[in-house]
């Protein structure tokens, strides 16, 4: 098997493994969210129905009949209520949070048409090669070299920082733009938005605070029951978040390698992207900005991880190591040279 086919097979296996993990995690998160939301709804429904039936005692021939039904079928009521409320309690708020984050990234900086028209021309040329509509290009006024892409094939936006334009040569900047356009071609921003939903949902489900001490004084049994429920949900959602992070990390690493390959094919020069990665890797090793500025960067979409922690080894690393990326690009350089000969 050739190196090219091994790379393609490796990327396919990574993505299938990530999707399998994320499917399991998504089902577990959905089940937990349904039970938690449904239990809260069941308790609220009990109170409301009890109050209503108490007020209507003179009218009702069979007092507390509905309350008795609710007590007799807690799981069934909780599941039905939880499924009905799932989109409103968790799914829509999480999707709204992701859309707001992406919208903020997509309007960062000034349009390149005003500040760096050469970037717009390069992005237009690369988009034509990739057979996608021309993306909007923005330049953010930040010293730290960064680049990321949001949106999809038809409505993509690429954001680069002034630090990146300053640190890289024209050929290296072209390679970085090609990398981001490859992300747009592959729909990576939207795919990552989708796979982040179960992880963020698990975070929202497990975000409740433990019961207060006032409940311990007024009702010790209710306090212990609430504490046990809170501890169980916290442990479950913590495990689900870890599983989601692992799946997202595996998928993200595979898609970064695929974008590297797409950039090499668009430019016809894998060595330019390799040179850009080496330059950026060296620059990231010398932080010059306040850590709070770093924390605001879109590291999940950037061409390189935000700092050393996300770049380190381990199953939760969202980016392949720079050494791995350079090795893959070197193989592409060798293949390009062989094909040229």
> How is 54-92 classified by DSSP, letter by letter?
HHTTTT-SSTTHHHHHHHH-HHHHHHHHHHHHHIIIIIH
164 pLDDT band, cuts 50/70/90, is very high
> Residue 174 has what DSSP assignment?
H
296 pLDDT band, cuts 50/70/90, is very low
What pLDDT is attached to residue 300? 46
List 180, 278, 283, 330, catalytic entry: 180
Its CATH class, for the domain covering 109-189+252-340, is alpha beta
What pLDDT is attached to residue 91? 87
Report the 10 Å Cβ neighbour count for 201: 27
Considering only residues 171 and 56, tell me which one the structure prediction assigns the higher pLDDT.
Answer: 171
Ordered by start, the domain boundaries in the chain are 109-189+252-340
Cα–Cα–Cα angle for 12, 17, 21, rounded to 5 degrees: 150
Give the chain's count of helices (H) and strands (E). 15, 4
What pLDDT is attached to residue 303? 53
Mean pLDDT on 25-49: 89
Whether the pLDDT of residue 63 is over 70: the answer is no
Considering only residues 304 and 332, tell me which one the structure prediction assigns the higher pLDDT.
Answer: 332
Out of 10-14, 173-177, 236-240, 263-267, which region has the weakest mean confidence (pLDDT)? 10-14
What pLDDT is attached to residue 48? 84
What pLDDT is attached to residue 4? 60
What pLDDT is attached to residue 55? 77
Name which of 180, 121, 169, 187 is nearest 278 in CA terms. 169
What pLDDT is attached to residue 3? 58
What pLDDT is attached to residue 125? 95
Q: Is 180 a catalytic residue?
A: yes
| Angstrom distance (rounded) from CA 286 to CA 227 | 46
User: How many percent of the chain have pLDDT more than 70?
Assistant: 83
Mean pLDDT on 269-282: 89
| Angstrom distance (rounded) from CA 89 to CA 154 | 31
Whether the pLDDT of residue 123 is over 90: the answer is yes
Q: Are strands 147-150 and 136-140 parallel, antiparallel or unpaired?
A: unpaired
Name which of 185, 183, 325, 314 is nearest 249 in CA terms. 314
Q: What's the half-sphere exposure (Cβ side, CA atoms, 13 Å) at 145?
A: 22
What DSSP element (H or E) covers 110?
A: strand 110-111
């Amino acid at each position: 098997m050739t190196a090219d086919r091994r790379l393609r097979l490796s990327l396919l296996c990574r993505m299938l493994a990530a999707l399998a993990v994320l499917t399991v995690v998504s089902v577990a998160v959905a089940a937990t969210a349904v039970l938690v939301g449904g239990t809260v709804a069941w308790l609220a429904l009990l109170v409301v129905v009890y109050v209503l039936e108490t007020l209507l005692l003179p009218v009702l021939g069979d007092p507390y009949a509905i309350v008795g039904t609710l007590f007799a079928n807690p799981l069934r009521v909780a599941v039905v209520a939880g499924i009905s409320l799932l989109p409103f309690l968790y799914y829509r708020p999480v999707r709204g949070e992701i859309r707001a984050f992406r919208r903020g990234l997509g309007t960062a900086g000034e349009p390149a048409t005003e500040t760096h028209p050469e970037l717009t021309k390069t992005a237009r040329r690369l988009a034509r090669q990739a057979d996608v509509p021309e993306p909007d290009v923005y330049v953010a006024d930040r010293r730290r070299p960064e680049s990321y892409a949001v949106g999809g094939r038809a409505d993509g936006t690429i954001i680069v920082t002034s630090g990146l334009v300053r640190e890289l040569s024209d050929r290296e900047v072209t390679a970085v733009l090609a990398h981001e356009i490859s992300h747009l071609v592959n729909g990576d921003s939207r795919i990552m938005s989708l796979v982040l939903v179960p992880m963020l949902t698990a975070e929202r489900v497990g975000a409740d605070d433990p019961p207060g001490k006032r409940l311990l004084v007024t009702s010790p049994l209710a306090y212990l029951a609430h504490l046990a429920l809170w501890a169980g949900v916290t442990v479950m959602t913590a495990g689900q978040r870890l599983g989601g992070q692992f799946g997202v990390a595996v998928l993200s690493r595979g898609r970064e390698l695929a974008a590297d390959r797409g950039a090499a094919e668009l430019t016809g020069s894998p060595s330019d992207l390799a040179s850009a990665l080496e330059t950026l890797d060296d620059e990231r090793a010398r932080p010059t900005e306040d850590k709070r500025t770093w924390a605001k960067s879109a590291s999940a979409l950037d061409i390189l991880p935000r700092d050393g922690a996300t770049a380190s080894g381990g199953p939760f690393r969202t980016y392949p190591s720079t050494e791995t990326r350079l090795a893959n690009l070197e193989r592409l350089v060798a293949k390009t040279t062989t094909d040229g000969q």
